[in-house]
Amino acid sequence: MDPDEIRRLRQVADQLADFAERLEDGWKVEIAEGQISFVMRSPSLPHGVNVRVLRRQIEAQTPHVFAINGTDAEDPVTGLSKVPDLMAIAEADLDHSQRKADSRRLLLVAEVVSPRNPNNDLREKLEDYPRMGVPVYVVVDPRNGSVTVHSEPKEGPDGLRYRSSIPYAFGEPVPAGQWTFDTADLVRYPSA
């Protein structure tokens, strides 16, 4: 490619990157071999560490339960679909013939709050997960070092919501469903 084509391609990529930065899912733009492509932005290291800390504890405390991350969960009743940071499901409830996990078979969902889009985990998923039949929703917030356990999904005058929400700080033991999480190894996001 000649330098002018590369410059034009870079300008277009920069404009697309500006647009992608505002998207909810946080896409990034890459250029390879003269082509522009969109790639989903990878979670940060603290995000990945926090998911792994919880995943190890779920599997250590309940060997008959799989802790799965990066996999779709879909509700056969409402049609809602999410990709939780982490979900726990009994091995006996896994249906290997399906592409997505049945959200009504999940025992717990955990999300690590994104610094770019916290409302997705703190509001939207807080409303959707009880509607999807998820009994326990754990929110890890590395921005402020907190963990909140939402449980007891029940109908009320404001609709189907979690009726119990208990906050904890990193370092405290956190009971959630059939687990107690040691949160001493959870990490906060670096300050800007």
Give the count of domains, the chain.
2
Asked, for residue 68, whether it belongs to a domain, the answer is yes
Give the C-alpha separation, 126 to 140, whole Å.
Answer: 13
Q: Look up the pTM and report it.
A: 0.80
Question: Cβ contacts of residue 181 below 8 Å, gap of 6+?
Answer: 54, 57, 138, 147, 173, 174, 175
Domain residue limits at 140: 45-182
What pLDDT tens digit does each residue of the chain (192 aa) get?
567 776 676 677 667 766 665 655 555 555 545 566 555 555 688 999 999 999 999 999 999 999 999 888 888 888 888 889 999 999 999 887 888 899 999 999 999 998 878 888 999 899 999 999 999 999 999 999 999 999 999 999 999 999 999 999 999 999 999 999 999 999 999 975
165-186: b (≥16 Cβ within 10 Å) or e: eeebebeeebebbebebebeeb
In whole angstroms, what separates CA 35 from the centre of its chain? 30
Asked, for residue 144, whether it belongs to a domain, the answer is yes
Q: Are 87 and 67 in contact (CB under 8 A)?
A: yes
Asked, for residue 33, whether it belongs to a domain, the answer is yes
H or E stretch covering 29: strand 27-32
Give the C-alpha separation, 139 to 54, whole Å.
Answer: 11
Residues 29 and 60 in one domain: no
Residues 53 and 68 in one domain: yes
Q: Are 140 and 118 in contact (CB under 8 A)?
A: no
Considering only CA atoms, which of 95, 85, 30 is closest in space to residue 54?
85
Concatenate the DSSP letters of all residues of 136-162 into one string: EEEEEETTTTEEEEEEEEE--TT-SEE
CATH code for the domain of 154: 3.90.1570.10
Residues 56 and 133 in one domain: yes
Residues 35 and 54 in one domain: no
Residues 85 and 121 in one domain: yes
Residues 59 and 124 in one domain: yes
Residue for token pair 């060997």: 63
Residues 90 and 170 in one domain: yes
